[in-house]
Amino acid sequence: MEMTAFILVTVFALLLIMNVPIAVSIALASFAAILVEGSDPSIVLAGKMVSGVNSFALLAIPFFVFSGHLMGKGGMARRLIDFAGTLVGFLPGGLAYVNTLTCMLFGSISGSASAAVSSVGGFMIPEMNRKGYNREFNVAVTTTAATTGLMIPPSNIMIVYSVAAGSVSIAAMFMAGILPGVLTGLFIMLVCGYFALKKKYKAEPRSSIKEILVAFKQAFLSLFLIVIVIGGILKGIFTATEAAAFAVVYAFILSVVIYREIKLRQMPQIMLETGVTTAIVMLLIGASTGMSWIMTMANIPQTVSAALIALSDNPIVILLTINLLLLIVGTFMDMTPAVLIFTPIFLPVVTALGMHEVQFGIMLIVNLCIGLCTPPVGTCLFIGCGVGKTSIAKVSPIMIPFFIAMIAALLCVTYIESITLWLPRLLNLVD
Tens digits of residue pLDDT in 221-249: 888 888 888 888 888 888 878 888 888 89
| Bigger pLDDT: 110 vs 165 | 165
Q: What is the mean pLDDT of the chain?
A: 86
| Bigger pLDDT: 310 vs 62 | 62
Distances (CA, A) of 430 to 60, 114, 356, 418: 22, 31, 9, 12
pLDDT-derived band at 408, boundaries 50, 70, 90: very high
pLDDT more than 70, % of the chain? 99
Asked whether residue 411 carries a pLDDT value surpassing 90, the answer given is yes
3 state SS for 353-372: CCCCHHHHHHHHHHHHHHHC
pLDDT-derived band at 425, boundaries 50, 70, 90: very high
pLDDT tens, position by position, 326-345: 888 888 777 888 888 888 88
Which amino acid type is present at position 269? Q
Predicted local confidence at residue 391, as pLDDT: 86
Asked whether residue 1 carries a pLDDT value surpassing 60, the answer given is no
pLDDT tens, position by position, 126-172: 888 888 888 999 999 999 998 998 898 888 889 889 988 887 888 89
Predicted local confidence at residue 77, as pLDDT: 76
| Contact between 311 and 318 (Cβ < 8 Å) | yes
| CB-based burial, 11-37: b 16+ in 10 Å, e otherwise | bbeebbeeebebbebbbbbbbbbbbbb
CA angle 69, 276, 103 (to 5 degrees): 30
Which residue stretches of 54-177 are H helix?
A: 60-73, 76-88, 94-110, 113-130, 135-146, 156-165, 170-176
CA angle 127, 128, 133 (to 5 degrees): 155
pLDDT-derived band at 366, boundaries 50, 70, 90: very high
Q: What are phi and psi of 47, to 5 degrees?
A: -65, -40
**Alpha-carbon span 184 to 144, nearest angstrom:** 9
Predicted local confidence at residue 329, as pLDDT: 82
**Alpha-carbon span 15 to 2, nearest angstrom:** 20
pLDDT-derived band at 81, boundaries 50, 70, 90: confident
Q: Crossing angle of helices 113-130/76-88, nearest 10°?
A: 60
